Chains A and B, each alone.
Chain A
Amino acid sequence: AQSVTQPDIHITVSEGASLELRCNYSYGATPYLFWYVQSPGQGLQLLLKYFSGDTLVQGIKGFEAEFKRSQSSFNLRKPSVHWSDAAEYFCAVGAQGNTPLVFGKGTRLSVIA
């Protein structure tokens, strides 16, 4: 069965600092990997996705993520965080065919001045 672990429940960074959110997955075959962001009271917005090909994927809002098969990881990065990035971030794993997304528990990002 698929599973996703986001080891950090809450991260606080200063505005302008770099950010890395960790995601580890467990899946037997080649996974499809996603990062979503959720602002308070809102739904999930897709930041980026990995299906195949280049292991470094670019997303919206200046985010990128790198798929590392050897480490079963798909960490999200941003070089310079803005106050508006404060939100909850979810990593999810899916697969080809009729397999529902499995989400991590989320990482809450706080941004301080």
Chain B
Amino acid sequence: KAGVTQTPRYLIKTRGQQVTLSCSPISGHRSVSWYQQTPGQGLQFLFEYFSETQRNKGNFPGRFSGRQFSNSRSEMNVSTLELGDSALYLCASSLEGLGDTQYFGPGTRLTVL
């Protein structure tokens, strides 16, 4: 079974731009979560989607948003990029939700200049 895939793997943007990251979960997994990883803050939960609905949300500003499609694929969008948004963005999928084992993708490395 293929694992979680994320595209693109690397992105370079400038301040004020917006960016969209994509995540394809493991086949059969209906829950997709997003995490931000930075050296200073570590791994922080952004949000979780299940059946095309945001079910849980972390403590991030509204510039961070996401959506999930009917095939469980998910996208994450960050608008009005700031230097502090530079991070590794990890997507995780699970069968039914946050109470199940989370399987992570390779991440998208976003650099904001």
Contacts and interface: CB of A to CB of B under 8 A. Distances in A.
Interface of A: 32, 34, 36, 41-46, 49, 90, 92, 94-106
A49 B43 contact: no
B103 A46 contact: yes
14 contacts: A42-B106, A42-B107, A43-B6, A43-B106, A45-B104, A46-B102, A90-B43, A100-B48, A100-B56, A100-B58, A100-B98, A103-B42, A103-B43, A105-B42
Interface SS of chain B: helix, strand, loop or mixed? strand
Contacts, number: 57
Q: Give the size range of B's interface with the partner.
A: 20 to 34
A83 B24 CA distance: 32
B45 A100 contact: yes
B87 to A, nearest CB: 13
Nearest to A96: B99
Greatest chain B CB density within 10 A among A34, A92, A99 is at A99
A105 B44 CA distance: 10
B98 A94 contact: yes
